[in-house]
Structure 1
Amino acid sequence: MGFDLEALREAVKTHGTVTRVVIAAIKGSSPREIGAAMLVWKDGQSGTIGGGTLEYQAAEAARTQIHPARLSQHALGPDLGQCCGGAVTLVSEIYDMGAVDRLDDTIIARPMAAPEMPLSVKRVLAQARGQGIDPDPQLLEGWMIEPVHKPTRNLWIWGAGHVGRALVDVLSPLPDLAITWVDTGSDRFPDKVPGGVTVVPAAKPAELVRHAPIDVEHLVLTYSHNLDLELCNRLLLHDFRFAGLIGSATKWARFRSRLAALGHAPEQISRITCPIGDPTLGKHPQMIAVGVATQVLRPARQNDLKKDLSA
């Protein structure tokens, strides 16, 4: 969890002045963790700090907030009638584009009570920058410290048809994913693309494979079996962390035969996962997207990726 600077920048660009509300400290149980945040503007909001009543009251307060920054404490049981028996401290800050542009792009530390930076805060920042390890979000001696969030996984989605669009809708809100979305032309993409998704129209998509970093996860689901095959071929010639192909067992049997004819060994071909998703959910694009997303995000996959990173 960290300060999602890009999401804040996009919200301010779209809605003007935006108030960011973040959980700064917790005592006892809480519906969300320290660092969980939401963005609030005049007629809407995004993100969540959880808790139902807590979030509703915090959003209403954010819309009428006058001071640039505010610290507030909330006892979840006695004050809000929630099952959680703890208490949370919220930091609410108003941002316009000027304020966003002044933020550090690695670690954001700012005073909530004590204007002069305490020695303890200086130590946290020096250790983080010296060792390259992000500190945990925390309220320390009147200062709120948050590392700027950086996606930890690069995901390339090949294809902007019905399934590709449904998959982007499902996965794009997840902050740990940096999504690159590729198809054969700009007319293949929807008019409105979710924030944080990089759209790449390319007449010859397979030519882009050589430009992909080797730690990328790929989901291949274009409108063309021939293009799917060529992408698989190029990916095996390149390298990748994960490659998943949409299709039936019959399609994959044909692809294995054709990839073998192109010179790929069986152990190489087996690195591609096909079919992806959960066929028992049905063939509706949203159901396919849910199944594929579950496969990509399930804990076993997370553990595999962590092993890859540590290898």
Structure 2
Amino acid sequence: MSFDLDAVHAAVAQYGRVTRVVIAATHGSAPREVGAAMLVWDEGQSGTVGGGALEYELARAARAQVVPTCLSRHALGPDMGQCCGGAVEVVSEVYDAARLATLEGRDVIARPVTGGDDTPLAVRRRLARARDRGELPAPQLIEGWMVEPVRPRAAPLWIWGAGHVGRALAATLAPLPDFRVTWADTGAARFPAVVPDGVTVWPAPNLPTLVAHAPREAQHLIVTYSHALDLALCHALLQHGFAGCGLIGSATKWARFRKRLVALGHAPAEIARIDCPIGEPSLGKHPQAIAVGTATALLKRQQTPAARHQGTTA
């Protein structure tokens, strides 16, 4: 869990005034973990802190909040009538463009939520570890201060193909804050009438030429309607560079592609960087099953580096 600064920026740009509600501490059984957050504005909300009645009450209070920062405690059984027998402490903060500007350039956001501007020693130590060693702390409430690491910028991810599997991938990956999705195919008519929020659609008659516009740190998923087009995209991406690449297909298809890519001048070690088939074969070949397996693999790959730098909560 981390402070998704990009999401708050986007919400403030669209709605002007947004309240961020984050679980700061839990005691006993609770519906969500520390760091789970939602954004609330006058006509809607995004994200979830779980709990049904808890979330409804927190959203109602967030819309009525007049102070910049509020810390509240909620006993889930007595206060909310929920089965969870524990309690949660919640920080609610009102953000606008001016307040967001004070957070720019930080890897860790630490701020007082119960008054008092003197930074506690425990907080100073965590900030020093983040600055000097790259050890990002877990979200936590420390002596009246809320401390959260900032979520890294979403990784660019390109989906090539808007058929059944491409549509399932876009619908599954678009809501995830870890990725910034670009979706490409050979014409606008190949895309659905309604595209998932946050997805950039890019129709281009000659898809391999579009590869030059992709960041070299992007992940790619190739799921077009044509084996010839799939091969041309593999060839173009191997020439261009990428962080990761997955190709839909069978073992037979990939064996043929490897031979053809070698013939096109690519080294076997570079070709081996392309994963084929994508997804988890044990889940089956349904488009949504392929999308779930692929998303799981991408999330594991994306989150492993961050986990190595996660600080302790002690």
Which of the five TM-score ranges fits, normalised by the shorter chain?
0.7 to 0.9
| 2:244–2:273 CA contact under 8 A, matched in 1 | yes
Choose the corresponding residue for 1:231, options 222, 230, 233: 233
Aligned to 1:118: 119
Deviation for aligned residue 1:241: 4.7
Contact in 2 for aligned 1:73/1:90 (Cα 8 Å): yes
Q: Deviations over 1:29-69 (max 9, x none)?
A: 32211111001122221101112221122112212222222
How far apart in 2 are the matches of 1:10 and 1:223?
34
Query: Which residue type is aligned with residue 259 of structure 1?
Result: L
- Check whether the contact 1:19–1:40 (CA below 8 A) recurs between aligned residues: yes
Secondary structure, in 3 states, of the residue corresponding to 1:234?
Answer: helix
Residue 76 of structure 1 contacts residue 86 of structure 1 at CA under 8 Å; is this kept in 2? yes
Please provide the CA RMSD for this pair.
Answer: 3.4
1:46 corresponds to which residue?
46
2: CA distance, partners of 1:114 / 1:189: 51
> Is the contact between residue 160 and residue 183 of structure 2 (CA under 8 Å) also seen in structure 1?
yes
Q: Aligned in 2, Cα 1:29/1:150: closer, same or farther, shift over 3 Å?
A: same
SS of structure 2 residue aligned to 1:35: coil
Kept in 1: contact 2:168–2:288 (CA 8 A)? yes
The C-alpha deviation readout for 1:121-173, integer Å capped at 9, x for no partner, is 33332332232332222222222222221157543322344432331221122
Contact 1:24 1:144 in 2 (8 A): yes
- Structure 1 residues 144 and 302, CA gap change in structure 2 (3 angstroms): closer
Q: Does 1:177 align with 2:179?
A: yes
Cα distance, 1:84–1:133 mapped onto 2, change above 3 Å: same
- For residue 293 of structure 1, what is the aligned residue in structure 2? 295
Structure 1 residue identity aligned to 2:21: V
Residues 38 and 47 of structure 2 are in contact (CA less than 8 Å); yes or no, is this contact kept in structure 1?
yes
Q: 1:193 to 1:104 in 2, by over 3 A?
A: farther
Q: CA deviation at 1:236?
A: 3.8
Q: Which residue is 2:312 aligned to? A: none
Which stretches in structure 2 are left out of the alignment for 5+ residues?
A: 310-314
Q: Assess, with a 3 A threshold, how the Cα gap between structure 1 residues 103 and 302 changes in structure 2: closer, same or farther.
A: closer
Asked if the contact 2:165–2:287 (Cα under 8 Å) also holds between the matched residues in 1, the reply is: yes
Per mean C-alpha deviation after superposition, the further-off stretch among 266-275 and 183-192 is: 183-192
Match of 2:151 in 1: 149
- Describe how 1:58-207 pairs up with structure 2 within 5 A: 58-106=58-106, 107-120=108-121, 121-151=123-153, 153-184=155-186, 194=196, 197=199, 204-207=206-209
Q: Tell me if 1:262 matches 2:272.
A: no
Percent identity, please.
Answer: 61
| Alignment partners' CA distance in 1, 2:217 and 2:5 | 23
1:8 maps to amino acid: V
Moved more, 54-63 or 269-278: 269-278
Deviations 1:196-225 (CA, angstroms, capped at 9, x unpaired): 545555554434546756654321012433
Counterpart-to-counterpart distance in 2, 1:239 and 1:97:
37
Do the aligned residues in 1 keep the contact of 2:103 with 2:109 (CA within 8 Å)? yes
Question: Hey, what's the Cα distance between the residues in 2 that align with 1:61 and 1:288?
Answer: 40
2:28 aligned with 1:16: no
- 1:43 aligned partner, one-letter code: E
Number of aligned positions between the proteins: 306
The TM-score normalised by the length of structure 2 is 0.80
Aligned to 1:7: 7
Secondary structure of 1:59's match? helix
Q: 1:27 to 1:126 in 2, by over 3 A?
A: same
Alpha-carbon distance, 1:6 to partner: 1.2
Partners of 1:281 and 1:129 in 2: CA distance:
43
Q: What is the CA-CA distance between 1:71 and the residue it aligns to? A: 0.7
Q: Which TM-score applies when normalising by structure 1?
A: 0.80
Deviates more, 1:4-13 or 1:253-262: 253-262
Are the counterparts in 1 of residues 3 and 151 from structure 2 also a CA contact under 8 Å?
A: yes
SS in 1 for 2:181: strand
